[in-house]
A and B are shown apart, each in its own frame.
Chain A
Amino acid sequence: MNGKLKAKKPYDIFVLVVMFILAVLFAFPLYWIITGSFKDAAAINAVQPEWFPHNPTMDNYVRLMAKPAFRWLFNAVFISVMSMALTCITAAMAGYALAKKRFVGQKTLFTLLICAMALPKQVVLVPLLKEMSFLGLHDNMWAVILPTVGWPFGIFLLKQFSEGIPTEMLEAVRIDGAGEVQTFTTIVLPMIKPGIGALAIFTFISTWNDYFLQLIMLNSSKVLTISLGIAKLQAEMSNDFGLIMAGAALGAIPIVAIFLMFQKYFTQGITMGAVKG
């Protein structure tokens, strides 16, 4: 303990101090949203900022519930869960095939997937909206889910994990007479479980926060997500800061909680995704 303290140099202390100041600054928006959501109108509009609500009130939340805020929350959960489930299933199958099978057209397909990943996905939103209207999915939550599942990031991530499965193991069960489906469910899936966990949490969070795609695809109040709901409050009732803060808190708290619970998997997901280079 003593030696550790002695080893600290001025620069290390400087770094630690700066880090803590930055940490406060970066945590501030979330702190301000949560405390702000409990402030009354006078406190929230005060010129001298009230750092902690002196007269906490639930009034903002009560008024927020009158907007269909639970509906917004439900929609966001529905879209994120569906995208997550479908992405994990399709990516697990495709990642395994790309990693462990040798097939005609493999190289071409792989190149195509890489090129698609390097392109800005927001650019295709105009034609994507036209396509969704053509499919009769305009203003439908599936118009957000389907393109999210199509994005090839998950395939890369799970290909990475599938490469770690020993080929001998796959051959052994095949010799024992296991079919393709059985091999996949009894060997592959358990082996790539951490990868699926990482992809699930990553997809859930990024879908929840994909404001742009939701904005383009969803209009009517019954399909709005919590992100769209907050933006709507901001646009329509821009002076009611308390209500907006309550909306922002309702949108942020669940996703931050999920992130903190699963952050180990999440970190693993982005790190492994980058390794493919």
Chain B
Amino acid sequence: MSKINNVPARSKALVRRETRSAYLFLLPALVFFIGFVIIPMVLCLVTSFFNYTMGDFTFIGFGNYIKMFQDEIFRIALKNTILIVVVAVPTVTAFSLWVGASIYKMHAVTRSFFRCIFYLPVVTGSVAVSVVWKWMFNKYTGLFNTVLMGTGILDEKISWLGDERFALWCIIIILFTTSIGQPIVLYVAALGNVDPSQIEAAEVDGATKLQTFWKIKWPSIMPTTLYIVIITTINSFQCYALIQLLTSGGPNHSTETIMYYIYYQAFKLNQYGYGNAMGIFLAIIIAIFSAIQLKAGQSND
């Protein structure tokens, strides 16, 4: 820094030249980023204040936002979405930590085998995976009813995806299996990076396995946990594909989520402004959740 201050004229020219070449390198990426990420975001925010339908485009201030809170179905969707997040995030995080901790010390081949297996539902894709789940949950030919009736746990067949009491839980189970792949990969990497000398020191001091885990490993994988919690939260809030493929929000709105309702309003009813207002609301909630998690994670250090 002080060197630059000594030769201001030259450094200014240097900065200008560097800036110009930097932006030339950034240009292609920025065209795509601004064009197809920033502009839609701005449009989303702006149009959320308009009554924006096929034939209408009038400014209504916070009208869409007020309508949202009076909308019974939106409230159901919000409740379901929060239930999904509250159930999925802790279970995904805890389970993937357990799997990660169980396999990270295994032989490289075994470790990589398990990592692949748990990633398989993600790679296979929601659409192909949902085909199988749809069959498993089927009332007449499905695997669940066959097994549960065969073992005498159930007396009569259940239409799992067609029953208000079970449909959302079925979705959460599938979401779980398609969500743990990435966290496991991250935990395996993070646990492998924990300083081994610290672990050895603790073991020499006579710490039990559990103590070593909570005192040494857990704090050092905290950033990974935080990242996993945040990405799982974002993904769970945006749960859409499984619902569109399996239940269409039904029965009786029992699997309605905010994301599904946004697209129902925007693409089935052409209520673009209203859909965008809900989108902004969802973005704000996700931002608040992420901020709380970040704060909690940092104060833990």
Q: Taking beta carbons and an 8 Å cutoff, which residues of A are in contact with B?
A: 15, 19, 22-23, 26-30, 32-33, 45-49, 86, 89-91, 93-94, 96-98, 101-106, 109, 112-113, 116, 118-128, 130-131, 146-147, 149-152, 155, 180, 184, 205, 208-209, 211-212, 215-216, 227, 230-231, 234, 241, 244-245, 248-249, 251-252, 255-256, 259-260, 263, 267, 270-271, 274, 277
Cross-interface CB contact of B125 among A106, A149, A252, cutoff 8 Å = A252
A227 to B267, CA, bound (A): 20
Q: Is B114 an interface residue (CB 8 A)?
A: yes
List B contacts of A32 (CB < 8 A).
132, 135
List B contacts of A184 (CB < 8 A).
25
A33 to B130, CA, bound (A): 11
Cross-interface CB contact of A120 among B30, B36, B130, B282, cutoff 8 Å = B282
List B contacts of A46 (CB < 8 A).
141
List A contacts of B39 (CB < 8 A).
127, 131
Cross-interface CB contact of A123 among B26, B135, B282, cutoff 8 Å = B282
A97 to B276, CA, bound (A): 34
Which residue of chain B is the closest to A93 with respect to CB atoms? Answer: B25
Known: A94-B28, A122-B240. A103 touches B40 (CB 8 A): no
A104 to B19, CA, bound (A): 6
A245 to B129, CA, bound (A): 10
Q: Are A277 and B223 in contact (CB under 8 A)?
A: yes
A223 to B113, CA, bound (A): 36
List B contacts of A231 (CB < 8 A).
127, 245
Interface residue tally for chain B (C-beta within 8 Å): 88
Which of B41-49, B84-92, B199-207, B212-220 lies at the binding interface? B41-49
Which of B62-70, B160-168, B283-291 lies at the binding interface? B283-291
Least CB distance from A97 to B in Å reads 4
CB<8 Å pairs between A and B, sample of 18: A29-B121, A32-B135, A86-B32, A105-B19, A118-B287, A121-B37, A123-B44, A124-B44, A127-B43, A146-B32, A150-B32, A150-B34, A227-B128, A248-B128, A255-B125, A270-B186, A271-B186, A277-B223
List B contacts of A260 (CB < 8 A).
116
A-B pairs with CB below 8 Å: how many?
A: 245
Least CB distance from B103 to A in Å reads 7
Q: Are A271 and B29 in contact (CB under 8 A)?
A: no
Contact residues of B between 254 and 285, Cβ < 8 Å to A: 259, 262-263, 266-267, 272, 275-276, 279-280, 282-283
List A contacts of B279 (CB < 8 A).
123-124, 126
Which residue of chain B is the closest to A100 with respect to CB atoms? Answer: B22
Q: Are A234 and B134 in contact (CB under 8 A)?
A: yes
Q: Is B118 an interface residue (CB 8 A)?
A: yes
Q: Are B186 and A180 in contact (CB under 8 A)?
A: no
Contact residues of B between 2 and 53, Cβ < 8 Å to A: 15, 18-19, 21-26, 28-30, 32-41, 43-44, 47
Which residue of chain A is the closest to B42 with respect to CB atoms? Answer: A127
Q: Pick from A125, A208, A256 the residue with the most CB of B within 10 Å.
A: A125
Least CB distance from B115 to A in Å reads 7
Cross-interface CB contact of B21 among A89, A101, A104, cutoff 8 Å = A101
Q: Are A26 and B36 in contact (CB under 8 A)?
A: no
Q: Pick from A102, A150, A231 the residue with the most CB of B within 10 Å.
A: A150
Q: Are A151 and B37 in contact (CB under 8 A)?
A: yes
Least CB distance from A255 to B in Å reads 6
Which residue of chain B is the closest to A258 with respect to CB atoms? Answer: B123
Which residue of chain B is the closest to A16 with respect to CB atoms? Answer: B102
Q: Are B41 and A116 in contact (CB under 8 A)?
A: yes
Q: Is B58 an interface residue (CB 8 A)?
A: no
List A contacts of B262 (CB < 8 A).
123, 126
Q: List 16 other contacts, CB 8 Å, given A131-B39, A150-B34.
A: A23-B118, A33-B131, A90-B28, A93-B29, A97-B25, A97-B26, A103-B15, A211-B127, A212-B240, A230-B127, A251-B125, A252-B125, A252-B128, A267-B185, A271-B185, A271-B186
Least CB distance from B46 to A in Å reads 9
Contact residues of B between 124 and 168, Cβ < 8 Å to A: 124-135, 140-141, 143, 146
Q: Are B25 and A150 in contact (CB under 8 A)?
A: no
Known: A150-B35, A234-B245. A128 touches B40 (CB 8 A): yes
Q: Are A270 and B185 in contact (CB under 8 A)?
A: yes
Which residue of chain B is the closest to A113 with respect to CB atoms? Answer: B33
Q: Are B26 and A93 in contact (CB under 8 A)?
A: yes
Q: Are B125 and A146 in contact (CB under 8 A)?
A: no
Q: Is B177 an interface residue (CB 8 A)?
A: yes
A22 to B103, CA, bound (A): 13
Which residue of chain A is the closest to B189 with respect to CB atoms? Answer: A271
Known: A101-B25, A116-B37, A267-B115. A47 touches B140 (CB 8 A): yes
Q: Is B247 an interface residue (CB 8 A)?
A: no
Q: Are A131 and B25 in contact (CB under 8 A)?
A: no
Q: Are A146 and B35 in contact (CB under 8 A)?
A: yes
Q: Are B227 and A277 in contact (CB under 8 A)?
A: yes
